[in-house]
Amino acid sequence: MDSFRKYSFLRCIKFTVLVALFGFAVSFFVHQYQVLANSIKVSDQTSGLINRQHISVLLGRGNFVHIEDALAQLVKESPLLFAYVLDADGKVAATSHKSAAVDVPCCYDWENLEGSAFKFDGTPAAPFESVADGVSFIRKVTPVLEHSSSEKIGSLVTFLVPRLIKREHLADTLIISSMALIFILATGVALSLLLSRALTAPVRELTRFVDSVDDTEAKEELNRLGTHPFAGGNIVEIRQLLQSFLAYREKILDHKNLLEAQVRERTHALEVAVEENRMLGNTLRTALEDERKLIAQEIHDNFNATLVAIKMYSQKIEQLAREGGEDAQIAGMGGKITSIVTDAYSSARSLVSRLRPEIIDTLGLSGALEELVNNYNQSSNGCSFMLSIGDHCDNLDEERNIGIYRIVQEAVTNAVKHAAAKEVAISLHRPKDYELVIQDDGVGFKPLQEKDAGIGLISMRERAMSLGGRFESVNTEAGARIKVSIPA
């Protein structure tokens, strides 16, 4: 804040210096003009007074010596540079005999020319006009009247040089102008200090206001600032700025609260997803272990027994062959081995089918789904299954074929086992992406958002997401609907 105060103070000082210099120049020229005007006025008054009191009388008497004394006294007591008197014939009767800084002629023919101001070369010139040597002067001719009859008996000619007058009063002019300069600077410095304080105070208060944390504190701060001597209600702009800060601050707080709410929601969703993944992982591990146990049991109970039986019958055939047994017995033993191998082959195919739907490789996705629906229609009591498949649904890769097949398999199984459905409709079409919809009229299911949602829904959703698709599951008035969209 001190830096801002220093900045504003220096800016004001710079402006003050400019104003002071301008004031110095103005006061200098105004004072010199005033000195010149006063000098002309004093000269006129003094020459007029002496003319009326002395020169007219002395000139009427022909007393030129006393006229010269009177002119010398006139020049001495006034700013005039030179003065002389012309008689009625226009001849110089007397002069002031005052030495001048410039050579001012007095006795040339041009003295009889009309006008009051001339250059030294005799040509007309306006007052204050520069002459050949660079000096301007004022020449004034005052008629000398006879004291009793007011008849003109001569002329009083006076010279005044403005430059010399200004030079004589230059010191006074500088003193007065310097005093004006000092006064303006002092006043400017004082005003700069006050102005920098006035500018800094509301900024400091605004900083304190912005740092407010609580809404109530912010409003109280705004009310307090309203009575501040520098940032109060008298300065409408400052109060409007404070109100804008308050409104902006409220928007920030609202946005902050919204972001915090979104973070909480996403944190909760993440926690739910983590829990679902944990449950899904546990379920997959359990299913994997169960599948391994089932395969081990299948191998132990079926294939081991099959191999033992084949071994026994093979040994029996070998014994009959050594002992010369009858062909019918040997053929019977071979038939039993063939039957056992056929059953083992069927069991092996069933086991492989459970591990991977190889029917897809044979019939394609459409044929595999039709076979699945036919099997459920034959094996399910009281529930009918309908399948609708659009064109161009057999062009998927192996991963998406298996994914869609497993989703349909899981959804149909859930509808039969958990939803008590009577009708299940399955449709697979491709308007843009591949859209799989399974609709049933069962009791519905718990949403995925709930903690105890079924693991079947979670596995179907994870399978759809692994294919880059979207998974939706909703309960409807007629039952439940699952929709899966997979990019083409």
Domains and CATH numbers, the chain: 2-179 (3.30.450.20), 359-488 (3.30.565.10)
Q: Which residues on neighbouring strands pair with residue 439, listed in sequence order?
A: 425, 481
Q: Which two tokens stand for residue 480?
A: 């439940």
**Strand ranges across the sheet with 138-145:** 92-95, 82-87, 152-160, 138-145
Sign of the alpha-carbon torsion through 320, 322, 325, 327: positive
d(CA 436, CA 182): 93
**C-beta of residue 474 within 8 angstroms of C-beta of residue 445:** no
pTM: predicted TM-score of the whole model, two decimal places? 0.41
**C-beta of residue 485 within 8 angstroms of C-beta of residue 479:** no
pLDDT of residue 400: 86
> Exposed (0-12), middle (13-18) or buried (19+): which is 382, by Cβ within 10 Å?
exposed
Residues 47/53/55/56 CA torsion (nearest 10 deg): 120
d(CA 86, CA 51): 13
pLDDT of residue 426: 92
pLDDT of residue 262: 92
Strand spans (E) along 5-137: 82-87, 92-95
d(CA 193, CA 201): 12
**DSSP state letter for 423:** E
Q: Which residue type sits at 34?
A: Q
Longest Cα–Cα distance in the chain = 201
pLDDT of residue 132: 38
Ramachandran angles phi, psi of 230, nearest 5°: -105, -30
**DSSP state letter for 146:** P
Nearest C-alpha neighbor of 177 from the set 320, 370, 31, 65: 31
Within 10 angstroms of residue 52's Cβ, the number of other Cβ atoms is: 13
Angstrom distances, CA of residue 119 to CA of 85, 103, 109, 122:
19, 12, 13, 5
Q: Which two tokens stand for residue 226?
A: 């309203």
Sign of the alpha-carbon torsion through 211, 217, 221, 224: negative
pLDDT of residue 436: 92
Nearest C-alpha neighbor of 374 from the set 426, 419, 415, 434: 426
Output the tens digit of pLDDT for each of the chain's 488 residues.
Answer: 466 667 677 777 788 888 878 888 888 778 777 776 776 676 666 666 666 556 666 666 666 677 777 777 777 766 677 777 777 777 777 777 644 444 444 333 333 333 344 444 444 444 433 343 445 567 777 777 776 667 777 777 777 766 666 666 677 778 888 888 888 888 878 887 777 777 666 666 666 655 654 555 555 555 555 555 444 444 565 566 667 777 777 788 888 899 999 999 998 888 877 777 777 677 767 766 777 777 776 676 677 777 777 777 787 777 777 777 677 777 777 777 788 778 777 777 676 666 667 777 778 888 888 888 888 888 777 788 999 988 877 778 888 888 888 889 888 888 888 777 888 999 998 888 889 999 988 887 766 545 555 677 878 888 888 888 889 888 888 788 899 998 87
Q: Which residue type sits at 371?
A: E
HSE, side-chain direction, 13 A CA sphere, residue 102: 23
Angstrom distances, CA of residue 94 to CA of 56, 64, 107, 111, 309:
13, 6, 11, 14, 172
**C-beta of residue 262 within 8 angstroms of C-beta of residue 249:** no
Phi-psi sector, 420: left (phi>0), alpha (psi -120 to 50), beta: left
Nearest C-alpha neighbor of 130 from the set 162, 107, 99: 162
**C-beta of residue 205 within 8 angstroms of C-beta of residue 228:** yes
Ramachandran angles phi, psi of 191, nearest 5°: -65, -35
**C-beta of residue 306 within 8 angstroms of C-beta of residue 343:** yes
d(CA 50, CA 73): 9
| Percent of the chain whose predicted confidence (pLDDT) is above 90 | 3
